[in-house]
Structure 1
Amino acid sequence: MPRLTVLLPVHDGAATIGAAVRSTLRALPRDAELRVLDDASGDATARVVEGIADARLRLDRSARPLGVAAGLNRLLAASDSELVARMDADDLTLPGRFARQVRALRRHRADLLFGTVVQFSSGGRRIRPTAPTGVSAAAFPLHLLLTNPVAHPTLVARRAVLDELGGYASVPSEDYELWLRAAARGHRLVRDGAPAIAYRVHPAQVTASSGWRRASWTDPATAGAFDRLARDRLGRGARRLNLLAIDEALDDAGFATELDDFARAVTTAADRLGRVEAGRVRALLARRLDAVRALRRQERRSHEPA
């Protein structure tokens, strides 16, 4: 039985899957495996993967499209390792990633551990590192109430925790919804500062779509998970900030009141952290408040008569 399984679902990823798989295998320990799910691709994805000879590589194929969440759950069910990691078909695993992350998982006593990323674009190969800043288990839930502070393909997790949570839900932001559920149940989520992947930025990404973003903001399951975490960490229910901004039934006075109440609750919770971490949460809160107010103004203008 391998100790670590890396899950990689892919649909029509022939152009990038080879580099993603090879970089992952180079960083993969001997007692680990990489499981790729070809999710009903119409291109040469499967042939590219089949052309890579490595005993640690497993290829599964689905004749009908499953989507990311169902595909990940299928890969989880097909494996039995103690630890589970994620990778995407258009990113690159950085050297030494898994050895570093397994050590960090133990060091932080984490249940779900994430890394940071360096960003690059396919065209100009532009590399843009993010600040190698960690987020502790104590601060992580507050970050989650403000934004999604991690990239899904940097994950390494304890399988027992994913099993307890029931795996991924079929919602627009299946990763963020899972993090919310995990944090609300008291599991330890940590972002280690060390970069884990080179993250490819391109216009075709699902998360770049305005339709996808709105579907995520209004998804009932994600809203419920968010509210449960808010009640656990803030002592009160709350709605996602972007949902407030696009709520047409909420007048400006109600918007301002709900936003101010949320900000006070987050600030009070942040004050229980150490000085540095509290300062980071307050700075992130200030940026998010500015962004959601700007989104609100944009929404109001878009509904004005022409």
Structure 2
Amino acid sequence: MQNRPVPVVSVVMPVYNAEKFLREAIDSILAQTFSDFEFIIINDGSTDGTKEIILSYDDPRIVYLENEQNYGICVTLNRGLDEARGKYIARMDSDDISMPERFAKQVEYMDSHSEIGVLGTDIEVFGEGITNYIFTQSYETNMCSAGLLFNPSFAHPTVFLRTETIRNNNLRYKDEFRGLEDLKLWWDCAKVAKLANLPIVLLRYRKHLAQETKNVNPRKIQQSNNFRAERFESFGFILNDKEKEVLNNYSYGNYSLFSTPELHTFMDVLTRIIHNKQYPIITSKKALKVVGSKAIAYTIIQSDKLKANKIAHLNKAFIRGLIPFVWYMKYLFHFAK
């Protein structure tokens, strides 16, 4: 491998018992119109026909690695980060399909925007038994970072990482955050670099029952709760138990638990976030206000306990400085329907 020319892109794809969809994923990478890449495929102790499928390909860009046993996603991804030699690291999952122009468009953008450390794209969601739909992301860099308060802001397998950003700041996938390893990495990246998404579908994201993201358990829930508190507390204040409960209810979509006191607690937390003088991530007050205002508006819409006085609640949030005027007018028009 050391005698191979250094590529522009290093594709990192962890694989575990992925024989059902693996060929489609590999073929979509090998069919990229931008061809200057190495394709690092790491077999994480598969027991099905995964290895045979990978080794059936005769393409010099494929770098096959094999873990001695099943170490899990974080250890495997970090091995990929360590092996990568390219200027950029492209993530890929073994059940998804990259569009042919994906690498060309992401390389072009990253080359033209040296401040961007992480770049994702929109996705088309598909799978057996579902109707295909387009999932769009936030595109503007401050909005991507601000959005990390509540969600990952990226579809993980679409991401391009700037290798220099990863190596210079010793950024890693952290096994103690398994199940949230991507969100944790984006949060750490947002402290040292800007983030962005391209407003174009460059990956088809497959939904199926075997996905890791569907395996929710008490450990993952507790990790999620702890990391959510960590993100908010990094703005310089400690959340009390009621505030943590309200934030968790919002994040899990438990809108039926929101009445006026819970909404006001939510507003209290967002007020402290927005009016904080120093931010732990690279973002802006405006972006944080937009993200917060969307959360408030969506909660009012979804909670039956708040709908009767939804405009009064909206007005209170606006008066408190939580909603930009333009967005206030948009929400007001929507609520008045």
TM-score bucket (shorter structure): 0.7 to 0.9
2: CA distance between counterparts of 1:104 and 1:13?
31
The C-alpha deviation readout for 1:219-251, integer Å capped at 9, x for no partner, is: x466435532xx1xxx645659653669xxxxx
The structure-2 alpha-carbon separation of the partners of 1:223 and 1:34, relative to structure 1 and needing over 3 Å to count, comes to farther
- What is the match of residue 208 of structure 2? 202
Q: 1:2: how far off?
A: 1.1
3-state SS of 1:210 partner: coil
Alignment of 1:80-119 (within 5 A): 80-108=85-113, 109-119=115-125
- What is the match of residue 261 of structure 1? 268
The C-alpha deviation readout for 1:196-233, integer Å capped at 9, x for no partner, is: 21000112222123327514423x466435532xx1xx
Q: Which one-letter code corresponds to 2:147 in the other structure?
A: H
1: CA distance between counterparts of 2:19 and 2:221?
29
3-state SS of 2:17 partner: coil
- Which of 56, 62, 74 is matched with 2:61 structurally? 56
3-state SS of 2:116 partner: coil
Q: 1:150: how far off?
A: 1.4
- What is the match of residue 129 of structure 1? 134
Task: Confirm or deny: 8 A CA contact 1:86 1:154 kept in the other structure.
Answer: yes
- Which structure has the larger Rg over C-alpha atoms? 2
1: CA distance between counterparts of 2:94 and 2:261?
43
- What is the match of residue 146 of structure 1? 150
Task: Confirm or deny: 8 A CA contact 1:27 1:96 kept in the other structure.
Answer: yes
- Identity over the aligned pairs, expressed in percent? 22
3-state SS of 2:10 partner: strand
- What is the match of residue 67 of structure 1? 72
Q: 1:69: how far off?
A: 0.9
2: CA distance between counterparts of 1:7 and 1:289?
41
Deviates more, 1:54-63 or 1:133-142: 133-142
3-state SS of 1:14 partner: coil
Q: Which one-letter code corresponds to 2:298 in the other structure?
A: R
Task: Confirm or deny: 8 A CA contact 2:149 2:232 kept in the other structure.
Answer: yes
The structure-2 alpha-carbon separation of the partners of 1:216 and 1:203, relative to structure 1 and needing over 3 Å to count, comes to farther
- Which of 45, 54, 59 is matched with 2:50 structurally? 45
- What is the match of residue 286 of structure 2? 273
Deviates more, 1:277-286 or 1:60-69: 277-286
Task: Confirm or deny: 8 A CA contact 1:85 1:155 kept in the other structure.
Answer: yes
The C-alpha deviation readout for 1:43-78, integer Å capped at 9, x for no partner, is: 010110111221111111112111111101111112
The structure-2 alpha-carbon separation of the partners of 1:65 and 1:116, relative to structure 1 and needing over 3 Å to count, comes to same
1: CA distance between counterparts of 2:83 and 2:26?
19
1: CA distance between counterparts of 2:273 and 2:297?
11
3-state SS of 1:111 partner: strand
TM-score (norm 2): 0.72
Task: Confirm or deny: 8 A CA contact 2:122 2:197 kept in the other structure.
Answer: yes
2:39 counterpart of 1:34: yes
Q: Which one-letter code corresponds to 1:84 in the other structure?
A: I
3-state SS of 1:282 partner: helix
2:4 counterpart of 1:4: no
Q: 1:89: how far off?
A: 0.6
Task: Confirm or deny: 8 A CA contact 2:246 2:262 kept in the other structure.
Answer: no
Q: 1:165: how far off?
A: 3.7
Q: 1:255: how far off?
A: 5.3
2: CA distance between counterparts of 1:10 and 1:290?
41
3-state SS of 1:259 partner: helix
Deviates more, 1:257-266 or 1:173-182: 257-266
Task: Confirm or deny: 8 A CA contact 1:267 1:282 kept in the other structure.
Answer: no
- Which of 216, 221, 224 is matched with 1:217 structurally? 224
